[in-house]
Structure 1
Amino acid sequence: MHTSEQTSRRDFMKLAAAAGGGLFLGFNWTNSSALPVVVSAKSIAAGSIHFNSYLSIGTDNIITIVSPNPEIGQGIKTAFPMVVAEELDADWKQVKTVQGNLDTTIFERQVTGGSGAVPHSWERLRKAGATARHLLVEAAAAGWHVPAAECTTENGKVLHKVSGKSLSYGELAEAASRLTVPDNVPLKNEKDFKLIGKSVRNVDNHNIATGKPLFGLDFHREGMLYAIIQRPKAFGLKLKSVNADAAKAMPGIVDVVTFENSVAVVGKSTWQVKKAREVLNIEYEKEAALESSADHDRIFKELLDSKEATVRRKNGDVDAAFRDAVKVIKSEFQCPFLPHSPLEPMNFFAHVREDGVELVGPTQTPDRARTEVAKLTGIPAEKITVEITRQGGGFGRRLSADFVMEAAHVSKLTKAPVKVIWTREDDMTGGTYRPAVRYRFEAALDKNGEMTGYKLRGVGINSGNPTREDNFPSGAVDNLLIDSVEYKSAITTGPWRAPITNFLAYAEQSFLDEVAEAAGKDPVAFRLALLEKARKAPAGEVKYDIDRMVSVIRLAAEKSNWGKKKGVHQGFSVYFSHRSYVAQVGEVVVEKGKPVLKNVVAAVDCGIVINKSGSLQQVRGGVVDGVGHAMYGNLTFKDGKPDQSNFNGFRLIRMNEIPEVDVHFVDNGISPTGLGEPALPPAGAAVANAFYKATKQRLRNQPFINDEAFKGIS
């Protein structure tokens, strides 16, 4: 079932042409300096103009923008048109957004991940709106025989205040489409923004609230089949044999097929294939170690002492710094695997034909999906279409294409259109997880309480590099060593919201509080002094913006009234990730002898805030996600099999446990930086440091509820 938001680019162009003309601007997403080009409705319909997106102004005054990036709840489908509408001086009520589908000939970076969509497209979007506005003004001025400089724009109209004349953009669209596009147009001064920075409702809110079919699970194609897949129940097993006779005999079952390490039951409804899967008789054999969480604890301890490590950064003479130290502080921190658990489980539709492939569903990386399916089927990528639906969460899980490949496999084998659906249990036990990691930190202090040496070793399971060696406090300590060791496991891992930094920030910032206490210094003052050291006498290259980090530290301290609230125990944390800077203060009070998290104050520097409402929710959601997983999230294994398979066993934060989140944005006027992920990393440490202030118990392991120190205070 298709919706207007799922209309393809081809359908959009046909609709635009059928509207009877107007101003259609194709603007290049791959080149921020490329100017929009005026193209006629006729040429758009013919498909002879190939640009990366289309801004249309119809004679009905409706302004439409095709948004290419997948929408997973980060608000990009609202933010993109807001930027265009601002430069255009459009009436927001007349702006519509269409989800673009995969088209690598006209789009660049059709990816949702890394909090990079707005930073990538900011200038491109502004130029598109500003150029359209310029052409409309020129058209009006020519018709009125007045200088263009005397004309202004407001709410979708061009005004000539001297004469009192005005024309709507729709009335001017035809005339504007015949003008020559200028080489350059001025952009608005940020102080003149009317829409950017305001709170705007998400463009899909109404359709979500009223249950319109927006998501991958909503997609339906007449005649399609459903498939549910049995994967090995433990990591390290492979398929040996399958007897599907009982399943094939059940009502509604069309076929049972095997591929790679999976068995797919295909039928006419999700319930029928789910029930049939339960009677499959499958035999597995071992192909790798069936690991348990106890094994991982042992492995971590061994590798932390290993002499084989990859050096990520080294400054100064670390051995001398620790040899001469008056005091050495040493701590270890550990985090478990975590599932992504988006509200919408994995699902995808595929129809593999001899002449091409149709793919429809929720993916953060549509081009990757197409590329992988092309390899599987042998069908050229240009004959594979990918329609992107709205996604009920991703958190990095939908960067992978395994669920897309499953749909393509089953469709190819059954020669039918097929939709693969994962259950919640499939989603939680089928990977791909946040890697489990353990860190060891060491700091050397001199007689003045100055940190003269710093060491960090990260050991991760399928984590790649589990450190961020150039993040603070690198550059602020003369003698520094950061290295890492990776352990390869059959358990599949991948990016999880704010990859690596989601736990590293907690460990680093918790440890810095320990060091500050050992040095007899206030935690905020201690960090500011380190940053001043990095500014005046950097140790090696400094790859973070000192001024931006200092600004959020000072803002968080100011807004939280740091150190001055009676009966409130405060913990501090600050982190840089995805081009943005976030400082947080956790606030804990003791009620009936128990510490209770009441509030988190967040100071955020993400550059210009486009949608105030969406930005606030991104920060609040990131804080709650960070706090919730730090306190409760835990996925453990027994003989290669996850112990937790649904939310009755995997603990999420509950409504009554969510603190107030007080958000403050730094207004520095720089171009927008990332926001989907940066608020999560500092959250765990802000809370852990606040709990320490209240209890004098350090929390060094996640989830906190399993830490012996937390058990004694909770």
Structure 2
Amino acid sequence: MKSQKKNIDRRSFLRTSALAGGGMIIGFNLFNACKPKVKPAIDISKLNFNDFNGFIKIADNGMVTIFAPNPEIGQGVKTSMPMLIAEELDVSWDNVHVVQGGLDMDVFQRQVAGGSQSIRHGWEPLRQTGATTKQMLVNAAAAKWGIDAKECSVENGIISNKKGEKLGYGEVVLDAAKLEVPKDVKLKDPKDFKIIGQDVQNVDVDEIITGKPLFGIDFKREGMLYASVMRPPAFGQKLVSFDDAEAKSKEGVVDVFQFGDKIAVLATSTWIAMQAKKSLKAIWKEDTTLESTEDHDKILFDLLAGNKFETLRKDGDISKAFKEADSVLERTYESPFLPHNCLEPMNFFADVTDKKVELVGPIQTPAGTANRIAKELERDIKDISLEMTRMGGGFGRRLYGDFAIEAALISNIAKKPIQVLFSREDDMADGIYKPAIKYKISAAIKDSKVTGYHLKEAAINSNMYGLISNFFPAGAIENYQVDIANYKSNITTGAWRAPYTNFLAFAEQSFFDELAETMDVDKIQLRLDLLQNVKGTTDERIQYSPERLEAVINEAVEKSNWGKVDKNTYQGFSAYYCHNTHVAEVADVVMEAGVPVVKKVTCVLDCGIVVNPLGARNQVEGGVLDGIGHAMYGNLEFKDGVPQSTNFHNYRLVRMKETPKVEVHFIKNEIAPTGLGEPALPPASAAVANAIKAATGIRITKQPFINASEKIFG
């Protein structure tokens, strides 16, 4: 592999000498985006390590501590990102200790868990950091021996020369701290990887299974109070007044007060706070129309039938294509609101004083949340510190930080350290939901070819679709148009695992199966033929690779034994590109007591180099099961602004006995890694729907499947 031309200078690679006990700490900018105002310290003995958000610490005994910078929501970056550093640092993973880093907005520009982008963005910078550190240590050893650094080799943290002399990293770490940062580093060829590509156990697994405090809900501080918040019971309501006499009379209740349109109850325990909240008597008024699911259905259907669209992409002339078509296929697909239902409900700790604002908890967007809190409190961002805990699920819900802002506002009023904790009912009733969406897809067929394709979207609070108009089949059909229409609702909506594509993949991949049936052509071959039209394209808007998508399709056909299974097994196919990754899936369905049951899903992905295969397989399996479970059962309805599901007794999730086997295969190549936490989810539901169609003859166009057809599920 050629030497990298991007240099790591003192602005993106700061190092200092020992802490107590000896050693070297090296701070680095993960994404080569260190801001100009960050300057190297001259007096390294006085360097404030909190100024950096990612560090390598090398102790005298050669042990290495790597500080993981990005939020950990179960996607495995606390393990995989340090693996990149350790690989190029050339140390044994057994000698690496991983610690969660804190927020640092001066150095890093993407300290975020979202969009399956952490490894993709960190791939080169993290490896450069490890390689640069190694080179500094080698240079120090070479200077000790009085030889050229090129005469040295490294293995597992031990530097050797041709004479057979050896020095451990810990023996040269202090000397290395005095050297200049190398301007050019050579990264390993993938064939030489020893850590990347190996199964590595989650670094937190021992703490997780033994119940050690890792999550925000575990955080405790002496003198901390617990806050339970009463929020408007319906979206669109405002607080008029409340009676807190009964709540305040309960033993353990410290305070009750209003902030905005919410009421905070502070107590000495979570249980006391939650029980006292139930005794509050509040009066609410409607500030706007209180919406119901029936209202949303009508609004979205009216939008699809209307002409108030924003066009995201328009190729050719779809009007002409449809006028000249031999036949036209048109279908409408529907999906409901969905809550996130993270295993760990929303929570956050805040201690707001005149001198500082200390925040601790599970958050996917630490920088954005800290900035919002600074604005709310009218404080300098420098007053705010934010410590990230491991998250018991995120899926987009923890992008928004509303719960952290609540904690900061309550602490600011109470002048005490507090922890806000949602109950499950709070979590579901005051969510930021996946928006309800309806798609209308039309295709023009002329001379046995698809000559026109028109995708219309009508959504609640969701008009940020951008790149999806450039996913497949963009570029594959001459006359192609994507239009969106949006209804602004007072119900809060936002990102939900695999935003935008989580339902669009179901709609489009179901449509392509039906299109193939209408044209009387092979379903998979139709997709492959369309991909041929994209090969060699010069259209820079196209986001996917036709070659890579074709490869996962062909591999899925082979690995799933497509078309060669026994007569009692019915198969459904789906292929999709999102989060920079290409995926193909095949679902195997059998009929049991007249009901289709998903037995197996074969999933093939091209996500580039797989950093940690063990973690990668877990992500894919989870994504597939999540996609199937919510498509089959997930549904949140509203009545006059009130969510009708408040806990798991009336919100259906997939159960253990209903989960199919998931067989995972990765395309092997040496391409830089792409997303993995989300791409397996979108195509899963279409593969199952297409298999159900093969088994029952009934086409499902509406989620959840369980409500879609009584003929199928009774």
TM-score, normalized by the shorter chain, greater than 0.5: yes
CA deviation after TM superposition for structure 1 residue 167, in Å: 2.6
| C-alpha distance after superposition, 1:208-249 (max 9, x if no partner) | 111111111011110111110011111111111101111111
Q: Contact between 1:587 and 1:599, CA under 8 Å: does it hold in 2? A: yes
Q: Contact between 1:351 and 1:357, CA under 8 Å: does it hold in 2? A: yes
Question: 1:313 matched to which residue of 2?
Answer: 313
Question: 1:286 matched to which residue of 2?
Answer: 286
CA deviation after TM superposition for structure 1 residue 574, in Å: 1.1
Q: Contact between 1:332 and 1:441, CA under 8 Å: does it hold in 2? A: yes
Where structure 2 has 5 or more consecutive residues not aligned to the other structure, the ranges are 1-13
Name which of structure 1's ranges 235-244 and 148-157 shifts more when overlaid on structure 2: 148-157
Query: TM-score, length-normalised on structure 2?
Result: 0.94
Name which of structure 1's ranges 257-266 and 139-148 shifts more when overlaid on structure 2: 139-148
Question: 2:9 matched to which residue of 1?
Answer: none
Q: Contact between 1:474 and 1:539, CA under 8 Å: does it hold in 2? A: no
Question: 1:6 matched to which residue of 2?
Answer: none
| C-alpha distance after superposition, 1:420-473 (max 9, x if no partner) | 1100010011121000001111111112x2100111111001112457211111
Structure 1 CA distance for aligned equivalents of residues 388 and 536 of structure 2: 49
Secondary structure of the residue that 1:175 maps to in structure 2? Answer: helix
Where structure 1 has 5 or more consecutive residues not aligned to the other structure, the ranges are 1-12
Instruction: Say yes or no: does 1:172 pair with 2:184.
Output: no
Secondary structure of the residue that 1:101 maps to in structure 2? Answer: coil
Q: How does 1:241-260 map to 2 (within 5 A)?
A: 241-260=241-260
Instruction: Say yes or no: does 1:266 pair with 2:266.
Output: yes
Structure 2 CA distance for aligned equivalents of residues 430 and 52 of structure 1: 32
| C-alpha distance after superposition, 1:366-393 (max 9, x if no partner) | 1122111111211111111111111111
Structure 1 CA distance for aligned equivalents of residues 131 and 16 of structure 2: 24
Structure 1 CA distance for aligned equivalents of residues 410 and 485 of structure 2: 38
| C-alpha distance after superposition, 1:469-493 (max 9, x if no partner) | 1111111111122111111111110
Question: 1:661 matched to which residue of 2?
Answer: 662
Secondary structure of the residue that 2:294 maps to in structure 1? Answer: helix
Q: How does 1:356-371 map to 2 (within 5 A)?
A: 356-371=356-371
For 1:441, the aligned partner's letter is I
Secondary structure of the residue that 2:21 maps to in structure 1? Answer: coil
Q: Contact between 1:39 and 1:177, CA under 8 Å: does it hold in 2? A: no
Identity across the alignment (%):
49
Q: Contact between 1:29 and 1:52, CA under 8 Å: does it hold in 2? A: no
For 1:455, the aligned partner's letter is H
| C-alpha distance after superposition, 1:19-74 (max 9, x if no partner) | 4333332322341799xx99999726532895552212111211112222111111
For 2:463, the aligned partner's letter is G
For 2:651, the aligned partner's letter is F
Question: 1:549 matched to which residue of 2?
Answer: 549
Secondary structure of the residue that 2:572 maps to in structure 1? Answer: strand
Cα 1:306–1:239 change in 2 (3 A) is same
| C-alpha distance after superposition, 1:176-206 (max 9, x if no partner) | 3333332101100001101101100011111
For 1:133, the aligned partner's letter is K
Cα 1:38–1:368 change in 2 (3 A) is closer
Q: Contact between 1:476 and 1:539, CA under 8 Å: does it hold in 2? A: no
| C-alpha distance after superposition, 1:260-284 (max 9, x if no partner) | 1111111111111111111111011
CA deviation after TM superposition for structure 1 residue 539, in Å: 8.3
Secondary structure of the residue that 1:274 maps to in structure 2? Answer: helix
For 2:92, the aligned partner's letter is D
Question: 2:387 matched to which residue of 1?
Answer: 387
Structure 2 CA distance for aligned equivalents of residues 484 and 102 of structure 1: 37
For 2:595, the aligned partner's letter is K
Structure 2 CA distance for aligned equivalents of residues 411 and 50 of structure 1: 26
Secondary structure of the residue that 1:445 maps to in structure 2? Answer: strand
Structure 1 CA distance for aligned equivalents of residues 359 and 657 of structure 2: 41
Instruction: Say yes or no: does 1:602 pair with 2:603.
Output: yes
Structure 2 CA distance for aligned equivalents of residues 523 and 580 of structure 1: 22
Question: 1:690 matched to which residue of 2?
Answer: 691
Cα 1:702–1:169 change in 2 (3 A) is same
Q: Contact between 1:477 and 1:539, CA under 8 Å: does it hold in 2? A: no
For 2:450, the aligned partner's letter is M
For 2:590, the aligned partner's letter is V
CA deviation after TM superposition for structure 1 residue 592, in Å: 4.2
Question: 1:462 matched to which residue of 2?
Answer: 461
Secondary structure of the residue that 1:199 maps to in structure 2? Answer: coil
Question: 1:650 matched to which residue of 2?
Answer: 651
Question: 2:76 matched to which residue of 1?
Answer: 75
Cα 1:663–1:483 change in 2 (3 A) is same
Question: 1:114 matched to which residue of 2?
Answer: 115
CA deviation after TM superposition for structure 1 residue 517, in Å: 1.2
Question: 1:446 matched to which residue of 2?
Answer: 446
Instruction: Say yes or no: does 1:485 pair with 2:485.
Output: yes
Q: Contact between 1:331 and 1:441, CA under 8 Å: does it hold in 2? A: yes
CA deviation after TM superposition for structure 1 residue 668, in Å: 1.9
Structure 2 CA distance for aligned equivalents of residues 538 and 510 of structure 1: 29
Q: Contact between 1:465 and 1:484, CA under 8 Å: does it hold in 2? A: no
CA deviation after TM superposition for structure 1 residue 418, in Å: 1.1
Question: 2:327 matched to which residue of 1?
Answer: 327
Structure 2 CA distance for aligned equivalents of residues 682 and 395 of structure 1: 17
CA deviation after TM superposition for structure 1 residue 140, in Å: 3.1
Structure 2 CA distance for aligned equivalents of residues 686 and 538 of structure 1: 31
Instruction: Say yes or no: does 1:670 pair with 2:671.
Output: yes
Question: 1:9 matched to which residue of 2?
Answer: none
Secondary structure of the residue that 1:90 maps to in structure 2? Answer: coil
CA deviation after TM superposition for structure 1 residue 535, in Å: 2.0
For 1:242, the aligned partner's letter is F
Cα 1:526–1:140 change in 2 (3 A) is same
Structure 1 CA distance for aligned equivalents of residues 665 and 43 of structure 2: 48
Q: Contact between 1:16 and 1:41, CA under 8 Å: does it hold in 2? A: no
Q: Contact between 2:70 and 2:113, CA under 8 Å: does it hold in 1? A: yes
Query: TM-score, length-normalised on structure 1?
Result: 0.94
Secondary structure of the residue that 2:469 maps to in structure 1? Answer: coil
Cα 1:538–1:128 change in 2 (3 A) is closer
Q: How does 1:12-411 map to 2 (within 5 A)?
A: 17-31=18-32, 43=44, 45-47=46-48, 51-160=52-161, 162-411=162-411
| C-alpha distance after superposition, 1:279-317 (max 9, x if no partner) | 111011111111111222222221111121111211111
Q: Contact between 2:344 and 2:391, CA under 8 Å: does it hold in 1? A: yes
For 1:451, the aligned partner's letter is V
Secondary structure of the residue that 1:79 maps to in structure 2? Answer: helix
Q: Contact between 2:17 and 2:174, CA under 8 Å: does it hold in 1? A: no
Question: 2:527 matched to which residue of 1?
Answer: 527
For 2:623, the aligned partner's letter is G
Q: Contact between 2:76 and 2:615, CA under 8 Å: does it hold in 1? A: yes
Structure 2 CA distance for aligned equivalents of residues 407 and 541 of structure 1: 42
Structure 2 CA distance for aligned equivalents of residues 618 and 528 of structure 1: 27
Question: 1:638 matched to which residue of 2?
Answer: 639
For 1:396, the aligned partner's letter is G
Cα 1:466–1:91 change in 2 (3 A) is closer
Secondary structure of the residue that 2:534 maps to in structure 1? Answer: helix
Structure 2 CA distance for aligned equivalents of residues 298 and 322 of structure 1: 27
Cα 1:414–1:219 change in 2 (3 A) is same
Cα 1:30–1:595 change in 2 (3 A) is closer
